[in-house]
Every structure is written in structure tokens, then in C-alpha cells.
Amino acid sequence: MRRDIFQAIADPTRRAIIALIAVHAMTPNAIAENFHTTRQAVSRHLRILTECELVKQEFQGREIYYSLEIDKMKEIDNWLKQYRKIWETRFIQLDQILLANKKKKK
């Protein structure tokens, strides 16, 4: 079952996991140590992130390491760009209005 990446990143725990493994690959146990939850709950979150292809698994001996899938993160960033442009335009317009109001007061 392919999951929606935006539903996956909507969960704060999954966003925190993404932030952790963005720095370096980690095992599920190492990830779980950062949360006040069970190892099984963390594994569930990792499964969802893996199904969305936001993280990838790398086997090293008997250990599984999870790391960030950069291309999928770029997909999210590309989607956000359209909204970033809208908000940047609005902030520029707000700055211009505030500056004009400030000049009128002088």
C-alpha cells in the first residue's frame, strides 16, 4: 500500500524522526531512545515513512539503519515552493504598506 507523503509528515513524531535521521543514519533502537514511547510505536512510524519512501533501510550485519531519502524530501520542497512564493509576495506587500504608513506619520 502506497501512503501519501503529506499524511506521513503531518504527524509530529514522524517529523521528529525525519529530523533525527537527516543528520545520520540510525537504528530503530537508537531512534526510539529519543522518544517517550515504545519501540513498537517507533517501528510503526518507520514503516509508514518507509512505505512513503521518505526513509530508506540499509542492512549492516544484523542491524537495520534508517536514513533520509533526499529525493522524496525534494518532492515536498517543490510542492511547498508555490506557497512560499505567495507568502513572500504578501510579506513584501505588507512591508511596503508599513513603510508607506510610517512615512505618512512623519
Task: Compute the mean pLDDT over every residue in the chain, rounded to the nearest whole number.
Answer: 92
pLDDT in tens, 76-88: 888 889 899 899 9
> At 25, phi and psi to the nearest 5?
-65, 145
Enter the pTM of the model. 0.76
What per-residue confidence (pLDDT) applies to 2?
A: 63
Question: What's 25's DSSP letter?
Answer: -
- Say what the pLDDT of residue 15 is: 96
What sign does the CA torsion over 46, 49, 50, 56 have? Answer: negative
pLDDT tens profile 54-83: 999 999 999 999 999 988 888 888 888 989
Helix, strand, coil shares of the chain as percentages rounded to 5?
65, 10, 20
**Torsions phi, psi of 33, nearest 5?**
-65, -20
